[in-house]
């Protein structure tokens, strides 16, 4: 079999039979533009902007420039994030292995054509639908397609679907469907694409925006009537032309209700978070994954590649009999050189050579669920025909002598339970293996047999296994592991180590990196009952001999306990758990399928990137909650002012340009800085409830302060409309800055600097003639000035009381 020729490939590409589909790893430029510009609120703002221009009141249309600037910033920020993340995603794209012109080639997924012969090996993600031609123990995990987690054995003639993962064996398959006809491009693109997906923060904001959209029309009608009645009634206002001033007041009230910058700052915060993490070699495949970062309170880690460097070094042979079965060294050499050998078996190559004297007649490849592989040689040269290499307790445990089933469940989950119940000779071997594993060494057993493994869809161990030698391997812990784990413990994140290795080995590695653990829990004794599993997961932190299905179930159990779970891993056997976790984190060495389902990929494989990841997530989400309180307070007081002044048939107390003035000082400018400042507070669910519990009362306090001011204004003399508006602006700004100070707590140098700058800007602008003329502001008469300052201070004290009550109800 030689595969397609180059001429065949070219012909199929020209016929459109290749695997190319649009590689959309993110939203298109049009989608970004539409999401930031073509919105309901932008339509309201744009219409109001045009009306004011037609009325010749361009000075009151400043909010239109602010809205346009917000839209431009949003488009630019998201497009920059898209370009950066697209480049990283392309660098990280999986590749296909094909047979062409008699040679194996690695090509881009998009370059696969119909009738190509795929070379499939353990860890590969199938890139196009194909029909199996040759197999050697080929098993595929189709859980990403069907939801069924059991590996499916593939025979000659069966189909292997794109998107499935090869978990054992190897084989060849001819491509039958490519491009849009297959699962591959859709599945991989969906898994790798970053998008502004649903999240509590985003859903909460969208809910608030829907409420505001419903409120705008009735409030506007109420304000229209109040404005015209305050100007002598509908007929007089229309006859005298004062309806234009009334319309300006209506526009001011409507624009004040729209939280122009809130959605923008949320998108920008997510996008900036993605860019910052990209600078740290962390690929975010979904922008909203930063919310998951902030909420994580349990981190599950695979040992290999996460706590250890991943590379194994062969340590020593521990012979179990003075006269071992003949051919054992050659068998080890064969296991080391077999094309589908895993990293552990390959490390034997430095000590054992395959001299080519043995020819295999059957082979059972390694499976992470069986934890053993086997080979039967032909030739009748006097050597033992069958050799099994794998985990000692999986090979010698009772019930495994004639089946591939795991060991019986032992009470308490002890890895020594198998040794206590095994056959007498085997018990000694298991005890010796346990002592070696307890020192942190990975331990394998080589056993011989006279009959081949059972040939069925589920391979079984042969009878009469004879232990020949224990093989030990040494792992190097990551130099950054101890400090990284210490950081997570200090941040209140619970740590769980979940590994397929011997629990004693895993516990020894855990102690090396600073975890206080006596022994690991043997996952073969994990209870199947969900409630009992939750109890075990809550009481243990180190687990060994965990199967891929168990990893997924363990993560799900932690989630049922109310935890937000992050999972790190790099092996194919981690893919299910990463997909189930709230936040899947793949290392750079991970198989393409594992990276495809992860939300984050550590592109340089540095475990010590995770503290930066967590800190960035907490910064983004805590700051979004902080600035949302500002914007929602403004929306609340805008509605309250519009309704109360409309019902009282008073003129709306602000011009649109004056609201632009107060918004810039108390919300817009400071919110931009607050959204990008450091913030280490851990995120808790209930974002909208907490924000509204503060924002709604705060809005009512502001509205009450302005009502009091405008009620007492006549007693301070007979101020004109300009002086009354100036006093209202002063009161609103004082209370607004007080809200800003409360929301900014705990204060630090940066936040104090922002507050001081806004206060200074207020004083400076009120004393600059050009600003006074533009915003139609002036210092009110003494009596009205004192009233404005007094109502502002009273509102500020009420805000302080509200902040105290809020802190009692929602402690940090």
**pLDDT tens-place string over residues 376-415:** 988 666 778 899 999 998 888 755 543 334 433 333 444 4
Residue 556: both structure tokens together: 């799900």
312 has pLDDT over 70: yes
Catalytic center residues: 302
Residue reference for tokens 């687990």: 543
Per-residue model confidence (pLDDT) at position 812? 67
Q: Please give the DSSP secondary-structure letter assigned to residue 478.
A: P
What pLDDT is recorded for position 409?
A: 34
Residues 6+ apart with CB under 8 A from 564: 292, 295, 296, 297, 298, 582, 583
Q: Does position 70 have pLDDT exceeding 80, yes or no?
A: no
Mean pLDDT, to the nearest integer, of 665-681?
82
Residue from 146, 145, 150 nearest 167 by CA: 150
C-alpha 268/C-alpha 446 separation (Å) is 57
List the Cα angle 796/621/749 in 5-degree steps: 55
pTM of the model: 0.60
pLDDT at 73: 63
Give the pLDDT mean for 266-284: 77
- pLDDT given at position 359: 82
pLDDT of residue 194: 41
Q: What are phi and psi of 159, to 5 degrees?
A: -95, 145
Contacts of 168 (CB under 8 A, 6+ apart): 122, 137, 138, 139, 151, 365, 366, 367, 368
**Mean pLDDT in the chain?**
80
Is 206's pLDDT higher than 90? no
Please say if the pLDDT value at position 307 is more than 70. yes
The answer to which of 211-215, 452-456, 674-678 has the lowest mean pLDDT is 452-456
Residue 410: the pLDDT is 34
Q: Is the pLDDT of residue 606 over 70?
A: yes
Over range 195-215, report the average pLDDT: 71
**Confidence class for position 193, pLDDT limits 50, 70, 90:** very low
712 band by pLDDT with thresholds 50, 70 and 90: confident
Q: What residues contact residue 458 under an 8 Å CB cut-off, 6+ apart? A: 153, 404
Confidence grade of residue 717 (pLDDT, cut at 50, 70, 90) = low
Residues 298, 560: Cα–Cα separation, whole Å: 12
**Token code pair at residue 553:** 């179930």
**C-alpha to C-alpha distance for 138 and 672, rounded to whole angstroms:** 55
Of the two residues 418 and 489, the one the predictor is more confident about is 489
pLDDT tops 80 at residue 523: yes
320 pLDDT above the threshold of 70: yes
Give the DSSP H or E segment for 323.
Answer: none
| Dihedral angle sign, alpha carbons of residues 714, 715, 718, 724 | negative
HEC states along 421-471?
A: HCCHHHHHHHHHHHHHHHCCCEEEEEEEECCCCECCCCCECCCCCEEEEEE
- Sequence-separated (6 or more) residues with CB below 8 Å from residue 151: 139, 140, 141, 167, 168, 367, 369
Strands 442-449 and 466-477: antiparallel
- Say if strands 542-544 and 521-522 run parallel, antiparallel, or are unpaired: parallel
Query: What does the pLDDT read at residue 741?
Result: 94
Among residues of the chain, what percentage have pLDDT more than 90? 18
DSSP 8-state assignment for residue 655: -
Model pLDDT for residues 253-274, shown as the tens digit of each residue: 777 777 766 766 776 777 777 7
CB–CB of 526/407 below 8 Å? Answer: no
- Which domains, ranges and CATH numbers included, belong to the chain? 6-23+97-192 (2.70.150.10), 29-82+196-275+615-809 (1.20.1110.10), 282-307+478-609 (3.40.50.1000), 311-476 (3.40.1110.10)
Q: Residue 527 — pLDDT band, cuts 50, 70, 90?
A: very high
Q: What is the pLDDT of residues 758-808, one digit of tens each?
A: 999 988 988 899 888 888 888 888 888 999 999 999 999 999 999 999 988
């Amino acid at each position: 079999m030689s595969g397609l020729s180059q001429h065949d490939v070219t012909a199929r590409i020209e016929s459109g039979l290749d695997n190319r589909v649009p590689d959309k790893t993110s939203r298109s430029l049009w989608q970004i533009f539409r999401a930031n510009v073509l919105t309901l609120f932008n339509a309201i703002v744009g219409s109001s902007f045009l009306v004011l221009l037609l009325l010749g009141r361009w000075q009151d249309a400043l909010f239109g420039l602010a809205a346009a600037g917000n839209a431009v910033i949003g488009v630019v920020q998201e497009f920059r994030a898209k370009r950066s993340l697209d480049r990283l995603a392309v660098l990280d794209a999986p590749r296909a292995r094909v047979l062409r012109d008699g040679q194996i080639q690695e090509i881009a997924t998009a370059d696969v054509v119909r009738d190509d012969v795929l070379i499939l090996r353990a860890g590969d993600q199938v890139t196009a639908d194909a029909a199996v031609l040759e197999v050697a123990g080929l098993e595929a995990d189709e859980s990403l397609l069907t939801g069924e987690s059991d590996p499916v054995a593939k025979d000659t003639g069966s189909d292997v679907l794109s998107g499935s993962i090869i978990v054992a064996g190897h084989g060849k398959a001819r491509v039958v469907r490519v491009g849009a006809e297959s699962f591959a491009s859709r599945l991989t693109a969906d898994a790798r694409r970053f998008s502004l997906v649903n999240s509590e923060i985003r859903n909460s904001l969208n809910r608030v925006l829907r409420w505001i959209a419903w409120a705008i029309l009735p409030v506007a009608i109420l304000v229209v009537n109040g404005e015209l009645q305050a100007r002598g009634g509908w007929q007089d206002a229309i006859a005298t032309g004062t309806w234009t001033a009334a319309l300006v007041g209506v526009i001011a009230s409507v624009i004040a209700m729209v939280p122009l910058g809130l959605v923008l700052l949320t998108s920008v915060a997510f996008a900036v978070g993605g860019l910052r993490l990209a600078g740290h070699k962390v690929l975010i495949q979904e922008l909203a994954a930063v919310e998951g970062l902030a909420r994580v309170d349990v981190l599950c880690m695979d040992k290999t590649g996460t706590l250890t460097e991943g590379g194994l070094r062969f340590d020593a042979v521990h012979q179990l009999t003075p006269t071992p079965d003949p051919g054992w060294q050659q068998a080890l050499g064969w296991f080391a050189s077999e094309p589908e050998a895993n990293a552990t078996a390959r490390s034997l190559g430095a000590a054992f050579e395959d001299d080519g004297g043995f020819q295999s007649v059957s082979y059972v490849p390694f499976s992470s669920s069986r934890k053993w592989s086997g080979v039967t040689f032909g030739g009748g040269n006097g050597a033992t025909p069958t050799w099994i290499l794998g985990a000692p307790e999986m090979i010698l445990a009772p019930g495994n002598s004639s089946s591939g089933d795991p060991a019986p469940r032992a009470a308490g989950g002890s890895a020594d339970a198998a040794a206590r119940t095994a056959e007498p000779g085997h018990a000694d071997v298991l005890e010796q293996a346990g002592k070696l594993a307890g020192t942190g060494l990975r331990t394998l057993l080589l056993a011989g047999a006279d009959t081949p493994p059972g040939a069925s869809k589920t391979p079984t161990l042969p009878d009469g296994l004879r232990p020949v030698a224990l093989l030990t391997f040494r792992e190097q812990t990551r130099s950054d592991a101890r400090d990284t784990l210490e950081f997570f413990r200090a941040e209140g994140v619970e740590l769980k180590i979940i590994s397929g290795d011997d629990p004693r080995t895993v516990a020894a590695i855990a102690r090396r990196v600073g975890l206080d653990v006596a022994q690991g829990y043997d996952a073969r004794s994990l209870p199947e009952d969900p409630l009992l599993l939750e109890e075990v997961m809550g009481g243990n932190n180190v687990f060994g001999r965990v199967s891929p299905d168990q990893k997924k179930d363990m993560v799900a159990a932690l989630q049922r306990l109310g935890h937000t779970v992050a999972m790190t891993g790099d092996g194919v056997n981690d893919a299910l758990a990463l997909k189930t976790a709230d936040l899947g984190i793949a290392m750079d060495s991970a198989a393409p399928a594992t990276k495809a389902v992860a939300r984050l990929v550590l592109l340089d494989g540095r475990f010590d990137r995770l503290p930066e990841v967590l800190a960035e997530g907490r910064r983004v989400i805590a700051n979004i909650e902080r600035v949302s309180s500002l914007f929602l307070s403004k929306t609340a007081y805008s509605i309250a002012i519009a309704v109360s002044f409309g019902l009282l048939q008073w003129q709306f107390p602000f011009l649109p340009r004056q609201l632009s003035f107060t918004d810039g000082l108390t919300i817009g400018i400071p919110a931009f800085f607050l959204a990008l400042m450091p913030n280490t507070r851990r995120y808790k669910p209930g974002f909208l409830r907490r924000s509204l519990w503060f924002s709604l009362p705060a809005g009512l306090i502001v509205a009450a302060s302005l009502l009091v001011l405008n009620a007492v204004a006549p007693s301070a003399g007979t101020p004109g409309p300009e002086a009354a508006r100036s006093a209202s602006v002063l009161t609103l700004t004082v209370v607004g800055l007080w809200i800003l100070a409360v929301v900014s707590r705990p204060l630090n140098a940066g936040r104090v600097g922002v507050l001081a700058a806004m206060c200074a800007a207020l004083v400076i602008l009120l004393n600059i003639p050009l600003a006074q003329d533009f915003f139609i502001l002036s210092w009110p008469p003494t009596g009205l000035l004192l009233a404005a300052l007094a109502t502002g201070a009273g509102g500020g004290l009420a805000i302080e009381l509200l902040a105290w009550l809020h802190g009692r109800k929602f402690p940090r």
